């Protein structure tokens, strides 16, 4: 059986709206369309499950699932009851997969974060661990307007650190999914929020992560379904960032990160964990044009 089978799970008409993504996937490699996790092939390295209105915090205890042969694989989730959202997602995720077919390299990664001493210290600690082309766009360097514009280039990965709520990031004066989607240019490979609650559904409404993928902003999103401890997030951040140079996808990064399960306990994946962490064709060139100097840059260079 071929390795690295892209696997999507959905019963009945749950996959309606995702046909374009499934066909795009078939152009780059083997595909398995299954009706349940019991049918996931042994060679699958990641799974995307589509179906039901219940968020994954209800039916998963980790951002992984156990297949019939006892292997744990990263699993992403999409609701099946948002048909327009599935169409938007399929279009964006297909564009991300197409970058892989074009032979583009992984990256760039952009590091985002709140203007808060503890958060900036964390970004300082993990920035050098990211073995990809990377850019630092934390809030002491960019205001919200410029951040939204910068992200239009479609990086392979955006990592946010700091405080967050179910409605979005606290940094930059507040960033919601609606604001990001309204300013979307090229879709991102993945958005990772090492922060509280971005995967939590407030009073049954879709979470920040859920809205990002269903709005076509990115092919995958990782966030927490509850409040998280800064020390836990620090360990998780170091593990994930250390894995990025070897990882081709968010799912790869989770598998390669040397982090105990307890630190992933509140985190969930939305969208496709196998989506490549590849930015748009000219994303790196565009990112280089973003003016985001450190506050003391001019002092050091004078």
Write the CATH number for 35. Answer: 3.40.50.12090
Beta bridge partners of 40: none
* CA-atom Rg of the chain in angstroms: 18
Domain that holds residue 33: 6-100
How does strand 267-271 pair with strand 220-224?
antiparallel
The answer to whether residues 163 and 86 belong to one domain is no
The answer to whether residues 136 and 269 belong to one domain is yes
The answer to whether residues 257 and 146 belong to one domain is yes
- Kindly state whether residue 82 falls inside one of the protein's structural domains: yes
CATH number at residue 119: 3.40.50.1460
The answer to whether residues 191 and 247 belong to one domain is yes
The answer to whether residues 63 and 84 belong to one domain is yes
Domain end, chosen from 68, 100, 132, is at: 100
The answer to whether residues 28 and 152 belong to one domain is no
**Distance, CA of 73 to CA of 251 (rounded, Å):** 8
Report the interhelical angle of 83-101 vs 19-28 (nearest 10°): 20
- Residue 62 has a pLDDT of 64
> What phi and psi values does residue 187 have, to the nearest 5 degrees?
-65, 145
**Distance, CA of 221 to CA of 78 (rounded, Å):** 11
- Kindly state whether residue 219 falls inside one of the protein's structural domains: yes
pTM score: 0.93
- Kindly state whether residue 299 falls inside one of the protein's structural domains: no
The answer to whether residues 24 and 109 belong to one domain is no
Instruction: Write out the chain in H/E/C secondary structure.
Output: CCCCCEEEECCCCCCCCCHHHHHHHHHHCCEEEECCHHHCCCCCCCEEEECCCCCHHHHCCCCEEECCCCCEEEEEEECCCCHHHHHHHHHHHHHHHHHHHCCCCCECEEEEECCCHHHHHHHHHHHCCCCCCEEECCCCCCCHHHHHHHHHHCCCEEEEECCEECCEECHHHCEEHHHHHHCCCCCECEEEEECCCCCCCHHHCCCHHHHHHHCCCECEEEEECCCCCHHHHHHHHHHHHHHCCCCCEHHHHHHHCCCCHHHHCCEEEEECCCCECECCCCHHHHHHCCCCCCCCHHHHHC
- Kindly state whether residue 193 falls inside one of the protein's structural domains: yes
- Kindly state whether residue 33 falls inside one of the protein's structural domains: yes
The answer to whether residues 140 and 38 belong to one domain is no
- Kindly state whether residue 1 falls inside one of the protein's structural domains: no
Total domain count, the chain: 2
Burial category of 9 from C-beta neighbours within 10 Å (exposed 0-12, middle 13-18, buried 19 and up):
buried
Give average pLDDT by consecutive 10-residue segment, the chain, 302 residues.
Answer: 78 89 94 88 89 58 69 87 92 97 95 96 96 97 97 98 96 97 97 96 88 97 93 95 94 90 89 96 96 75 47
The answer to whether residues 52 and 72 belong to one domain is yes
- Residue 83 has a pLDDT of 87
Domain end, chosen from 100, 135, 160, is at: 100
- Residue 185 has a pLDDT of 96
- Residue 3 has a pLDDT of 63
Q: What is the dihedral of CA 40, 252, 136, 175, to 10 degrees?
A: 20
Domain end, chosen from 54, 73, 100, is at: 100
- Residue 302 has a pLDDT of 46
């Amino acid at each position: 059986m071929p390795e690295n089978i892209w696997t999507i799970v959905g019963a009945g008409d749950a996959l309606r709206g995702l046909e374009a993504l499934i066909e795009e996937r078939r152009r780059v490699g083997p595909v398995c369309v299954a009706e349940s996790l019991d049918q996931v092939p042994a060679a699958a390295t990641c799974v995307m499950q589509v179906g039901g209105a219940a968020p994954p915090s209800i039916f998963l205890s980790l951002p992984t699932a156990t297949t019939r042969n006892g292997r744990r694989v990263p699993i992403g989730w999409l609701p099946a009851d948002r048909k327009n959202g599935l169409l938007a997602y399929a279009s964006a995720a297909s564009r991300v997969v197409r970058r892989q077919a074009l032979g583009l390299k992984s990256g760039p990664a952009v590091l985002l974060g709140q203007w808060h001493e503890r958060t900036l210290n964390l970004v300082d600690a993990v920035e050098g661990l990211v073995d990809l082309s990377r850019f630092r766009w934390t809030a002491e360097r960019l205001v919200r307007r410029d951040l939204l514009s910068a992200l239009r280039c479609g990086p392979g990965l955006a990592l946010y650190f700091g405080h967050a709520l179910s409605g979005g990031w606290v940094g930059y004066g507040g960033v919601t999914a609606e604001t990001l989607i309204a300013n979307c240019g090229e879709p991102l490979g993945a958005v990772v929020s090492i922060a509280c609650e971005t995967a939590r559904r407030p009073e049954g409404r879709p979470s920040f992560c859920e809205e990002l993928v269903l709005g076509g902003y990115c092919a995958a999103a990782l966030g927490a379904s509850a409040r998280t401890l800064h020390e836990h997030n620090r360990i998780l951040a170091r593990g994930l960032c250390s894995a990025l140079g070897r990882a081709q996808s968010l799912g790869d990064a989770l598998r390669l990160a040397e982090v105990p399960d307890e630190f992933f306990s509140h985190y969930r994946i939305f969208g496709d964990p196998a989506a490549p962490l590849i930015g748009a064709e000219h994303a790196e060139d565009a990112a280089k044009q973003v003016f985001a100097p450190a506050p003391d840059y001019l002092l050091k260079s004078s």
